Amino acid sequence: MTPPRKGARIEIKRLGKVFEGSRGTVAALTDIDLAIAPGEFLCIVGPSGCGKSTLLRILAGLERQTSGTFAIEAAGWKVANAMVFQDSGLFPWMSVEENIGFGLMTRGVAKSERQDRVERAMKLVGLSKFRRHFPHQLSGGMRQRGAIARAFVTDPAVLFMDEPFAALDAQNRVILQEELVRLWEETGKTVVYITHSIEEALFLGDRAVIMTAQPGRIKEIMPVTFPHPRHLMELSASAEFGELKLRIWHALQDEVMRARQQQEGA
């Protein structure tokens, strides 16, 4: 199945971020060079504290880099990016419907069009029956579905996802991963997906970027060539999957140990 159009192309050049704290400076990211193809599903894997979230926040415009540049080419798209956070970040004072329509409301999309699009998005993630519910009345999985719908409904050229399923139980995670892959295959958007789970990177990604512990650098980029559509449970039983998982684990292992030593030393 060929997607209807391709999402944003992203070029990152020698990007760096240094945090100034009361106890001196901390280099979070150093010399990040990365080119992300239009319509690619890119997963970034790294130990906690490696700056992968910071990278995503910089790309999403929530923080500024201290060195280097990046460009998001999204010609022909009205909305450049939308982000899905680990904690859904649905506003507790808005109904599911209002939450999903938020990014359209802020951009002045006319009410009738907004309703149509929100309707379709709710259907897509199975929340139509819960439109009038408030987030505190939903389960964690449903809240995360709402957050995904809120991002997809704005039709962004690139979707930034920061460990969106990390807080979910295993069953819900698999279901939502499959839904996400289906949505991605249908829409052809670029996705940059942060995770600390190797399996997740292999289930979802076209490539897996492995980052080093602080300061975060790119250690290795591995292509993930399993054909689409992927069936996560079948895939995880295959020999190639196990082999690739082991390779990534070896690349990550040193970094995880290093991150631990840093934390213990701090």
Residues near other proteins (CB under 8 A): 57, 60-62, 79, 81-83, 85, 87, 89, 91-94, 102-103, 105-107, 134-137, 150, 154
Between CA 266 and CA 255 the distance in angstroms is 16
Give the helix ranges, DSSP H, for 111-222: 111-125, 140-152, 170-187, 198-204
- If the CB atoms of residues 161 and 252 are measured against other proteins, the closer one turns out to be 161
DSSP letter (8 states) at residue 165: T
Phi, psi of 32 (to 5 degrees): -85, 120
Q: How far is the CB of 82 from other proteins (least distance, A)?
A: 7
Identity of residue 61: G
- If the CB atoms of residues 100 and 211 are measured against other proteins, the closer one turns out to be 100
Angle of helix 111-125 versus helix 140-152 axis, rounded to 10 = 140
DSSP letter (8 states) at residue 226: P
Q: How far is the CB of 84 from other proteins (least distance, A)?
A: 10
- If the CB atoms of residues 85 and 130 are measured against other proteins, the closer one turns out to be 85
The span from the first CA to the last CA of the chain, in angstroms, equals 50
Q: How far is the CB of 7 from other proteins (least distance, A)?
A: 17
- If the CB atoms of residues 76 and 227 are measured against other proteins, the closer one turns out to be 76
- If the CB atoms of residues 93 and 229 are measured against other proteins, the closer one turns out to be 93
Q: How far is the CB of 1 from other proteins (least distance, A)?
A: 29
Residue 103 token pair: 């990014």
Residue 210 token pair: 């492995």
Q: How far is the CB of 118 from other proteins (least distance, A)?
A: 14
